[in-house]
């Protein structure tokens, strides 16, 4: 090939790329494409491997929106699971300037990343009227106050609108309970006793997954810790006043208060009262069946739905799934986590178990900062306003059947979600240190040591020595990351 031919080929290639780019820009002037990551709400067709109906209602909303705004197309991005894969995906997408124009991401994740400049501050938009809600003068007025409060970042802005309310409960197999002759327990002692009987009858009492997602362990420890440290919470908070339960995670003991308590030694893994939660969890672990360290949530669910395990701790997201799963051949019910009493622990005050949940379901909406550069931010906000209008959001939530939208007007919501919503309204856990409370790294470190403790590879002293060290590292890291110089001054460092 001659030099002239080669140069000609290069020239043709460059012109083609330029022309294609121009054509694309021209098309973009006329058409707006909103790339949306809807998480659990991602619409898709039912496949042969599905044992229940996947959600599809966002397709309906997108079509209705298209009728109102013919130049706007909503492109749904595929759902990414599990959480750690999602974390990687979202990080790389945003860093490459390809973050979803409208996404859903947990408030704690958004708070971890907001300093990177990925998100639009939604506060000014919430002050504007929502044109899709009749008579609305201020968009914020349609949301529950808790949703708005949960979405506020440490800098006071609002980079996420967390509208998905989720609750948890212990699902149980009514048939097994009837066969064994036990009732849903109210106290921890009763809980242990019915599990002993269920195990003796040849069933796995509790499908407890400790591989993959760490949710079941985290929820359990949050609930147990809240009850066991009930008498100590005023000291941890630093006010001396009783710490009340609300619907908002982190409103009891904030991250900063927890860090202060760690640095002052008030919250410590070496404290026998703190260690009590590990002892109770270990006591419980004898009923999780062999191999719980290799059970992921799907495998645990399968043990429960096939009638081999009698109980499963899960969210409101499992109701519809269990109801429609053709593997299930039994009746199921849900009960609240049992109360820990003096009969089981000297540190119990008799306070009831808190709910685990809150505004942490899918529907924690974020808008990418790149939408400003692309000139489509107003259109994306308009689409979000359209979705969150009650006449659209309620059928969307019912179609999925997992979460209740954090709206004030919940008329028409699936009544099966009501017990979960009620439990969350009664108040969620006041202190959290196993997942979002400190750092992700600490949560992993703690979890690994916990596994060694539960299986007897480390005794309580060895485990808590290690946990305490990790906890202090996490506290120092958070002080540095957040620039809590006032805290340093208070601590005299």
Partner 1 sequence: MATGRINRAAYLFILPTFAALIGLKYYPAASAVYHSFFQWDGATVGRFVGLANYVQLFRDEIIHVSAINIVKFIIGRVALNLVFPLLAAKLVFHVRHQGAAYLYRVLLTAPIVVPVMVILLLWKFIYHPYDGLLNQLLEAVGLGAWRRAWLGDFETALYAVIGLGFPWVTGIGSAGFAFLIYLGGLQSIPREIFDAAAVDGAVSLRRFFRVELPMIASQLKLILILTVINTMESYVPVMVMTGGGPGVSSMVPGLYLYESAFLYDKFGYASAIGVVMTIILLIVTTISQRSIKSYSEAEP
Quote the CA–CA distance of 217 and 221 in Å, as a whole number. 6
Comparison of 331 and 444: residue with beta carbon closer to partner 1: 444
Of 87 and 235, the one with the shorter C-beta distance to partner 1 is 87
Q: Please report how many Cα atoms fall inside a 13 Å half-sphere around the Cα of residue 430, on the Cβ side.
A: 23
Q: Specify the residue, 72 or 120, whose C-beta has the smaller distance to partner 1.
A: 120
Closest Cα to residue 435, out of 108, 8, 88?
A: 108
What letter does residue 153 receive in the DSSP assignment?
-
Distance of CA 6 to the CA centre of its chain: 56
Q: What are phi and psi of 164, to 5 degrees?
A: -95, 110
As a whole number of angstroms, the distance between CA 131 and CA 34 comes to 19
Q: What is the CA radius of gyration of the chain?
A: 25
Distances (CA, A) of 441 to 143, 201, 209, 437, 474: 33, 40, 20, 11, 8
Minimum Å distance from CB 206 to partner 1? Answer: 14
Question: Shortest gap between Cβ of 424 and partner 1 (angstroms)?
Answer: 28
For 20-43, give one letter per residue: b (16+ CB within 10 A) or e.
eeeeeeeeeeeebebbbbbbbbbb
Structure tokens at 327: 């593997």
Classify 72 as helix, strand or coil: strand
In the 8-state DSSP scheme, what is residue 493? -
| Least distance to partner 1, CB of residue 274, Å | 21
> With DSSP H G I counted as helix, E B as strand and the rest as coil, what are the percentages for the chain, rounded to 5?
50, 10, 40
Cβ proximity to partner 1: between 324 and 455 the closer is: 455
Q: Which is nearer to partner 1, 46 or 481 (CB)?
A: 481
- Least distance (Å) between residue 176 CB and partner 1: 16
- Least Cα distance to 62 among 82, 38, 80 occurs for 38
Q: Residue 297 Cβ, how far from partner 1 at the closest point, in Å?
A: 13
Residue with tokens 């590990």: 278
Q: Which is nearer to partner 1, 3 or 67 (CB)?
A: 3
Please, what is the minimum distance in Å from the beta carbon of residue 114 to partner 1?
Answer: 11
Which CB atom, from 288 or from 313, has the smaller least distance to partner 1?
A: 288
Which of 160/450 has CB closer to partner 1? Answer: 450
CB 384 within 8 A of CB 102: yes
Residue with tokens 């202060």: 260
Binding residues for partner 1 (CB under 8 A): 1-3, 5-7, 10, 84, 87-88, 91, 94-95, 112-113, 115-117, 210-212, 290-295, 299, 303, 308, 439-441, 444, 448-449, 451-452, 455, 457
CB nearer to partner 1: give 109 or 399.
109
| Residue 39 per-residue DSSP state | G
Other residues' Cβ atoms within 10 Å of the Cβ of residue 81? 10
What's the closest the beta carbon of residue 217 comes to partner 1, in angstroms?
12
Shorter beta-carbon distance to partner 1: residue 425 or 452: 452
Distance CA 450, CA 444 (A): 10
- Whole-number minimum distance, CB 4 to partner 1, in Å? 9
DSSP code string of 247-287: SSTTSSS-HHHHHHHHHHTSS-TTSHHHHHHHHHHHHHHTT
CA–CA dist 398, 459 (Å, integer):
47
**Residue nearer to partner 1 on the CB measure, 151 or 289:** 289
Helix axes 440-454, 460-482, angle to 10 degrees: 180
Residue nearer to partner 1 on the CB measure, 308 or 416? 308
For residue 365, list its beta bridge partners: 104, 161
Least distance in angstroms from the C-beta of 299 to partner 1: 7
Say whether 407 sits in a helix, a strand or coil.
Answer: strand
Length of the chain, in residues: 493
Q: How far is the CB of 452 from partner 1 (least distance, A)?
A: 5
Please state the closest distance from residue 479 (CB atom) to partner 1, in A: 14
């Amino acid at each position: 090939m001659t030099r002239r031919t080669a140069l000609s080929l290069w020239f043709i290639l460059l012109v083609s790329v330029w022309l294609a780019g121009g054509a694309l820009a021209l098309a973009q002037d006329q058409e707006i494409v909103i790339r949306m990551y809807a998480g659990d709400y991602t619409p898709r067709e039912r496949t042969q491997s599905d044992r229940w109906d996947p959600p599809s209602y966002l397709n309906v909303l997108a079509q209705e929106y298209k009728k109102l705004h013919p130049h706007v197309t909503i492109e749904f991005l595929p759902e990414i699971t599990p959480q750690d894969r999602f974390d990687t995906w979202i990080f790389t997408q945003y860093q490459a300037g390809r973050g979803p124009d409208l996404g859903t991401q947990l408030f704690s994740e958004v708070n971890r990343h907001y300093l990177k400049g990925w998100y639009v501050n939604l506060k000014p938009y919430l002050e504007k009227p929502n044109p899709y809600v009749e008579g609305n003068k201020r968009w914020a007025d349609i949301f529950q106050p808790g949703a708005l409060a949960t979405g506020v970042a440490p800098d006071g802005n609002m980079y996420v609108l967390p509208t998905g309310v989720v609750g948890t409960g212990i699902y149980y197999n009514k048939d097994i309970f009837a066969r064994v002759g036990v009732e849903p327990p109210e106290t921890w002692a009763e809980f242990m006793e019915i599990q002993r009987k269920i195990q003796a009858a040849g069933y796995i009492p509790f499908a407890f997954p400790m591989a993959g997602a760490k949710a079941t362990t985290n929820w359990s420890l949050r609930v147990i810790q809240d009850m066991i440290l009930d008498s100590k919470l005023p000291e941890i908070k630093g006010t001396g006043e009783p710490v009340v339960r609300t619907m908002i995670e982190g409103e009891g003991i904030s991250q900063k208060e927890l860090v202060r308590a760690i640095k002052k030694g008030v919250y410590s893994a070496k404290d026998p009262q703190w260690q009590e939660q590990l002892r109770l969890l270990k006591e419980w672990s004898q009923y999780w069946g062999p191999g719980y360290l290799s059970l992921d949530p799907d495998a645990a669910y399968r043990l429960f739905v096939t009638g081999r395990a009698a109980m499963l701790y899960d969210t409101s997201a499992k109701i519809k799934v269990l109801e429609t799963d053709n593997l299930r051949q039994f009746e199921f019910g849900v009960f609240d986590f049992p109360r820990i009493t003096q009969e089981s622990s000297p540190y119990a005050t008799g306070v009831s178990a808190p709910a685990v949940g809150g505004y942490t379901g899918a529907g924690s909406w974020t808008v990418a900062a790149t939408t400003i550069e692309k000139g489509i931010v107003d259109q994306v906000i308009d689409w979000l306003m359209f979705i969150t209008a009650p006449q659209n959001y309620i059928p969307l939530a019912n179609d999925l059947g997992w979460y209740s939208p954090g709206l004030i007007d919940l008329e028409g919501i699936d009544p099966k979600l009501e017990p979960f919503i009620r439990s969350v309204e009664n108040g969620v856990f006041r202190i959290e240190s196993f997942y979002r409370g400190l750092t992700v790294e600490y949560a992993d470190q703690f979890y690994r040591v916990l596994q060694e403790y539960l299986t007897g590879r480390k005794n309580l002293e060895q485990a808590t020595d290690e946990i305490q060290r990790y906890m202090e590292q996490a506290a120092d890291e958070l002080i540095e990351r957040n620039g809590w110089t006032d805290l340093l001054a208070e601590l005299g460092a």
